[in-house]
Chains A and B, each alone.
Chain A
Amino acid sequence: GQQVMQIPQYQHVQEGEDFTTYCNSSTTLSNIQWYKQRPGGHPVFLIQLVKSGEVKKQKRLTFQFGEAKKNSSLHITATQTTDVGTYFCAGRWGGATNKLIFGTGTLLAVQP
């Protein structure tokens, strides 16, 4: 079935260090989205990647979509305590469906 694997499950960093989470699908995605969920909160949309090799930046966050459209990454430069939360990738495959399949998420802890 359609699955999105995400690693690592958990990452603990010192404030100021960088952080990266990776997403993988065994089959080609049509697009991928990233969401952030703060502790006790709900997932909130961050960005969508559609094109092969696409790179998008939001301040300290850099998102990449692989050339084969099977993997993606989120990189945070110089983490801050406000970055704490779980980061999810969510993939869509071809066809008319607007269903998203969420990855397992990466919980980021930032120590001040």
Chain B
Amino acid sequence: DAGVIQSPRHEVTEMGQEVTLRCKPISGHNSLFWYRQTMMRGLELLIYFNNNVPIDDSGMPEDRFSAKMPNASFSTLKIQPSEPRDSAVYFCASSTFSVKETQYFGPGTRLLVL
């Protein structure tokens, strides 16, 4: 059974460029979470969806970040324009919708903005 799939695994881009990160959750999971991990700030929740609907986007750093979930099997996190301080590892995780469920993380996208 495939786990959470993220693409690309690595992205190097220049400041000002648009970056799109993609995530395919585990089939049957109806909650999806986007996290950002840096040395300075640790693992931060950016936004999460239940049944494709954004529930809490309070962790999204600023208007340059946007996330969508057009269907149950696909989500994107977009940064436009990108800045060097956006360099981090971005993880997508999915779970079933329950207050006791575990989250399954994807392998992450390592983003470097020059």
The interface of chain A, by Cβ under 8 A from chain B, is: 30-31, 33, 41-45, 48, 50, 88, 92, 95-105
Contact = CB atoms under 8 A, between A and B. Distances in A.
B63 to A, nearest CB: 21
B43 A42 contact: no
B56 A99 contact: yes
Given A42-B106, A42-B107, A98 B56 contact: no
A45 B102 contact: yes
A44 B102 CA distance: 9
Grouping DSSP codes into helix (H, G, I), strand (E, B) and loop, the B interface class, with mixed when no group exceeds half, is strand
A44 B104 CA distance: 7
Interface of B: 31, 33, 35, 42-45, 48, 50, 55-56, 91, 93, 95, 97-108
A102 B108 CA distance: 16
A33 B102 contact: yes
9 contacts: A43-B43, A44-B105, A97-B99, A98-B50, A98-B99, A99-B48, A99-B56, A102-B35, A102-B45
Nearest to A104: B42
